[in-house]
Amino acid sequence: MNGCTAHPVPPATLDALRATDDAGRVPAPFTDEAGGAPLRCCLRHSRPRERIVLVSYAPLRRWAAATGADPGPYDEQGPVFVHAEQCAGPRTDRLPFTDSHRTLRRYSADGHILGGRLVGDPGAFAYALREAFDDPAVAFVHVRAVEYGCFLYEVRRG
């Protein structure tokens, strides 16, 4: 969608998560034999036999620490897949992972949830995102998987 950018987990955050995740655990890398895991470092699906790791990530907590915001009880952590080692990051400006059911969760500048939308039709994703940003109180949107509720990436205005 024009004017919006998908943001993966930042490289410095990835380095920290690979050492100790946001739940205080030391992650255990593994070989993804089948491939297909949604990687939050480069915003693509893993390929067969890539080394990946599942880490606990708290996107609002890290964002709040950098901005001084207080998301209060909206602070949450959840599992995300990333490459086990550094990668090149996203190689496209296209919004990824839009080909399935998704939840678009809207947040204010102080990190509070302003609402959300279930997007069942992949063709409606761009419309739902545009609708979210039509509200001037929306500072950013988290795109989440419906099946597990996992954070996929953050979208910000242009």
> Which residues share a beta bridge with 53?
82
The reported pLDDT for the residue numbered 47 is 98
> Tens digit of pLDDT per residue, the chain (158 long)?
557 889 999 999 999 999 999 999 999 999 999 999 999 999 999 999 999 999 999 999 988 988 898 888 888 899 999 999 999 999 988 899 998 899 999 999 999 999 999 999 988 999 999 999 999 999 999 999 998 889 999 999 76
The reported pLDDT for the residue numbered 158 is 65
Q: Which amino acid is residue 62, in one-letter code?
A: R
Residue with tokens 């080394």: 51
Phi, then psi, of 73 in degrees rounded to 5: -70, -10
> Which residues share a beta bridge with 129?
none
What is the DSSP track for 67-94?
H----GGG---EEEEEESS-------SS
The reported pLDDT for the residue numbered 2 is 58
Phi, then psi, of 143 in degrees rounded to 5: -95, 130
> Which residues share a beta bridge with 144?
103, 151
Phi, then psi, of 146 in degrees rounded to 5: -75, -40
| CB-CB neighbours of 3 under 10 Å | 10
The reported pLDDT for the residue numbered 71 is 87
